[in-house]
Chain A
């Protein structure tokens, strides 16, 4: 004889909105007190913010200066070049999204597309020579606003990542010279604030480079940021490398892979995957640190914000201007952190 258990409905209080409220917000007297207090607090804060945003703030300072915030001193006649660049990036991003599950051919084309987009956008933004009828020169010194912030952040991130990986590998090298050089580099940079690296890159780079190559302020700032960020990437990657069990190296060598393939196919993919959160965190701070280029006379988004608050017709509107800048920074940083979480879950498939 089999015993048939009766199927019961859950007790009333555990289901529905009321059940949820009772369970999570009013389970005990102090939890209830806390709930009431928090609601009151949120109400006061939100009411203050909303009344300011919709009633008191004078957003004209932002709407009138919108183009200035975005591209700053980039000539208005050439602004279409920035828009086209943006279009290229958005187009590639959409293609990447569409083909995110694809392998083989489409993926290879996407990588090629992204790689090509960098020089393409560089040429588009900078142009050829002053007299050129097509794409006349727009010197980097005129790049400013969100445009400059993005160029600094994106190029800094993209260039510092491979450099950081190479440094991390170098630090584990069996060759003493390579190892010592990488270690000294990483530790020196990590012991120095970004501001001083930026200053040094402005003053020192021209001394190291041959006189034919004259880098503008933006390029020098970029170099400084890349060198700085690479040291931190290297340390993060080193953590990931250290977490790879020795058995992975042995198994890879046992199937006949040489040292380079062991690294490229087995060790680095696992190590980098493990440090995505740390590296994205580092890139987010790099993004915010681009504001420091104001020190060497560049007008990034924050620099432009400061300049806008000095306009005669908008005197005293600091709050509006900085709130707008903060929202822009938040949008980019949150996007990065969201993308990183998506990437983690996407890559985490089947991992223990």
Chain B
């Protein structure tokens, strides 16, 4: 998608002055950012900076204590109906896959459509098989997660998140727990997804992926956004010293 075309799109996620504390520890210190429909955003930054915590507030796995988060017109408050409505619109992929080990791959994918969307089983299975084909592992559908490799598990997890037909996909370091030879198979799926036009927020240090598909890169440290820019500008002209230092560290090895 062209950046000019993106500019005409409406905002799908609006965060205004979001704060969060873990006990006394101030994790998120007033994060403000908007994300447009169809935008692919990569978030990077040093460990412990609050990247995971931030994207987890967007689908309410973590509760923010101050500020506003509005997802697709629905504000996240303590109202459970709003929370479930937002969670249905957002798919999430975790670093440690978190597949349901007692269910076969296909049942992992069909679970939410059947129980939350109330689809008939045949329809859910049909859509799930299409998704498993899309992520390249239809032949693994009737295996349990424990019988799959890491890369295959993560692709089932992506299919599971897509099964609810979300408008937004969140990825929290989806390839960090994978052996090197499996990283590419997962990134390939993510590249295809990014080009399909879905809104994506990806926490990752895979700068190759970022350069290939991201519209914007956000550098996150110490609980806030230090710098953000379009992908080309971010790599060519980093403005902040912390960003330069971080880039030199991750690009040299």
A interface with B by C-beta (< 8 Å): 245, 247-248, 250-258, 261, 265-266, 269-270, 273, 349-352
Which among B23-31, B127-135, B138-146, B218-226 touches the partner chain? B138-146
Name 5 A/B residue pairs within 8 A (Cβ), A-sorted.
Answer: A251-B157, A255-B87, A257-B112, A265-B111, A350-B143
Q: Which of B140-167 contact A (CB under 8 A)?
A: 143-147, 157, 160-161, 163-164
B88 contact from A256, A265, A269, A351, Cβ within 8 A: A256
Which B residues touch A270, using CB under 8 A? 100-102
Q: With an 8 A cutoff between CB atoms, is B32 at the interface?
A: no
Given contacts A255-B161, A350-B143, A350-B145, contact A273 B102 (CB under 8 A): yes
Give A66 to B99 CA distance when docked, in angstroms.
Answer: 55
Which B residues touch A252, using CB under 8 A? 100
> In this complex, what residue of A is CB-closest to B143?
A350
Which A residues touch B157, using CB under 8 A? 251
Could you tell me if A254 and B87 are in contact, using CB atoms closer than 8 angstroms?
Answer: yes
Which A residues touch B88, using CB under 8 A? 256
Could you tell me if B94 and A256 are in contact, using CB atoms closer than 8 angstroms?
Answer: no
Which B residues touch A250, using CB under 8 A? 61, 94, 98
Which B residues touch A247, using CB under 8 A? 94, 96, 98
Q: With an 8 A cutoff between CB atoms, is B22 at the interface?
A: no
Q: With an 8 A cutoff between CB atoms, is B45 at the interface?
A: no
Could you tell me if A253 and B87 are in contact, using CB atoms closer than 8 angstroms?
Answer: yes
Total number of B residues with any Cβ neighbor in A under 8 Å: 31
> In this complex, what residue of A is CB-closest to B83?
A253
> In this complex, what residue of B is CB-closest to A259?
B80
Q: With an 8 A cutoff between CB atoms, is B243 at the interface?
A: no
Could you tell me if B101 and A265 are in contact, using CB atoms closer than 8 angstroms?
Answer: no
Which B residues touch A254, using CB under 8 A? 59, 61, 87, 90-92, 161
Among B80, B101, B143: residue with most chain A CB under 10 A: B101
Extra contacts, 7 of them, besides A255-B163, A265-B111, A351-B101 (Cβ < 8 A), are A251-B157, A254-B87, A257-B115, A270-B102, A350-B104, A350-B144, A350-B147
Could you tell me if B61 and A352 are in contact, using CB atoms closer than 8 angstroms?
Answer: no
B interface with A by C-beta (< 8 Å): 59, 61, 80, 84, 87-88, 90-92, 94, 96, 98-102, 104, 111-112, 115-116, 143-147, 157, 160-161, 163-164
* Chain B: minimal CB distance from A256 (Å): 4
Given contacts A256-B164, A265-B111, A265-B115, contact A248 B104 (CB under 8 A): no
B98 contact from A248, A269, A352, Cβ within 8 A: A248
B116 contact from A251, A257, A266, Cβ within 8 A: A257
* Chain B: minimal CB distance from A103 (Å): 11
Give A252 to B164 CA distance when docked, in angstroms.
Answer: 12
Could you tell me if A351 and B61 are in contact, using CB atoms closer than 8 angstroms?
Answer: no
Give A270 to B99 CA distance when docked, in angstroms.
Answer: 12
Give A273 to B100 CA distance when docked, in angstroms.
Answer: 13
Which A residues touch B161, using CB under 8 A? 254-255
Given contacts A256-B164, A265-B115, contact A248 B94 (CB under 8 A): no
Give A349 to B104 CA distance when docked, in angstroms.
Answer: 10
Could you tell me if A255 and B160 are in contact, using CB atoms closer than 8 angstroms?
Answer: yes
Given contacts A256-B88, A269-B102, A270-B101, contact A251 B112 (CB under 8 A): no
Could you tell me if A255 and B116 are in contact, using CB atoms closer than 8 angstroms?
Answer: yes
* Chain B: minimal CB distance from A253 (Å): 6
Which B residues touch A266, using CB under 8 A? 100
* Chain A: minimal CB distance from B200 (Å): 15
* Chain A: minimal CB distance from B29 (Å): 23
Which A residues touch B94, using CB under 8 A? 247, 250-251
Which B residues touch A349, using CB under 8 A? 144
Could you tell me if B100 and A248 are in contact, using CB atoms closer than 8 angstroms?
Answer: yes
Which B residues touch A251, using CB under 8 A? 92, 94, 98-100, 157
Which B residues touch A261, using CB under 8 A? 115-116
Could you tell me if A352 and B101 are in contact, using CB atoms closer than 8 angstroms?
Answer: yes
> In this complex, what residue of B is CB-closest to A254?
B92
